[in-house]
Structure 1
Amino acid sequence: MTVDHQQTDHDVIKHGHRHEGPYKHVVAFIFSIVLTLIAFAAVAAGGVNTTFTVIILLVMAVLQVLVQLGYWMHMKDKGHFIPILFLVGGFFVAFTCVVMALSWVWW
């Protein structure tokens, strides 16, 4: 008596990891390039208000970090809770150090 185990799409999704293919990586790469071009254009424009340029650069930097973490470092996938927890903790410690240094200098 033989039992044939045919693998269906449901089994692959339920029990294994389905390969995403290069499509999402290409989209993330193009999005990273577009963010870089926007930041470069904001600085190269020259006549733009300095405060506006700094805000644009900060927004583009945050978006770039999210794209890098999500797609290139695979933080969007399951099983990455501990690395994400340590990254959030590191950002909290760094933010606290910056706030303390600024208050120490200006107090």
Structure 2
Amino acid sequence: MSVDQHADHDVIKHRHRSEGPQKHIIVFIFSIILTVIAFATVAAGGVNATFTVILLLIMAILQVFMQLGYWMHLKDKGHLMPILFMIFGFFVAGTAVIMALYWVWW
């Protein structure tokens, strides 16, 4: 192996593989499908209200995780601190909601 080939091999070996737009397009299409399903479920009108609320909540949670993972890139390495801060924020917000409900009802 010549010096030039060895240098090219090292460059190729150390490059980061980019994700490309394929996964973003798939996630975008999946988000559109979830949104259409949500609108169709509510527009149908004859669907049980409890089922509709549960379905909407599940689809909303799926969309949040997809958007955090792919659009906000939290699935990549080096994003531990933002994830921890968001978890702490959800904990504080959840605690505030629970305490407000407790304060109002008891």
Note whether the superposition's TM-score is higher than 0.5: yes
Give the 5 Å matches for 1:73-92: 73-92=72-91
Q: Structure 1 residue 3: deviation in Å?
A: 3.2
Q: What does the per-residue CA deviation read over 1:16-35, in whole Å, with 9 as the maximum and x for residues that have no partner?
A: 42111110010010111011
CA distance 1:52–1:79, shift in 2 (3 Å)? same
1:7 alignment partner in structure 2? 9
Q: Structure 1 residue 10: deviation in Å?
A: 7.0
Aligned-partner Cα distance in 1 for 2:13–2:87: 34
Q: Structure 1 residue 98: deviation in Å?
A: 0.6
Q: Structure 1 residue 7: deviation in Å?
A: 3.0
CA distance 1:3–1:37, shift in 2 (3 Å)? same
Aligned-partner Cα distance in 1 for 2:100–2:92: 12
Q: Structure 1 residue 8: deviation in Å?
A: 6.0
Q: Over aligned residues, Cα RMSD in angstroms? A: 1.8
Question: Once superposed, which parts of structure 1, at least 4 consecutive aligned residues long, lie more than 4 Å away?
Answer: none
Quick check: which one's helix share is greater?
2
Q: Which structure 2 segments of 5+ residues have no match?
A: none
TM-score normalized by structure 2? 0.89
Letter of the structure 2 residue corresponding to residue 39 of structure 1: A
TM-score normalized by structure 1? 0.88
Q: Secondary structure at the match of 1:6?
A: helix
Q: Structure 1 residue 42: deviation in Å?
A: 1.2
Identical-pair percentage: 67
1:28 aligns with 2:27: yes
1:58 alignment partner in structure 2? 57
Q: Which structure 1 segments of 5+ residues have no match?
A: none
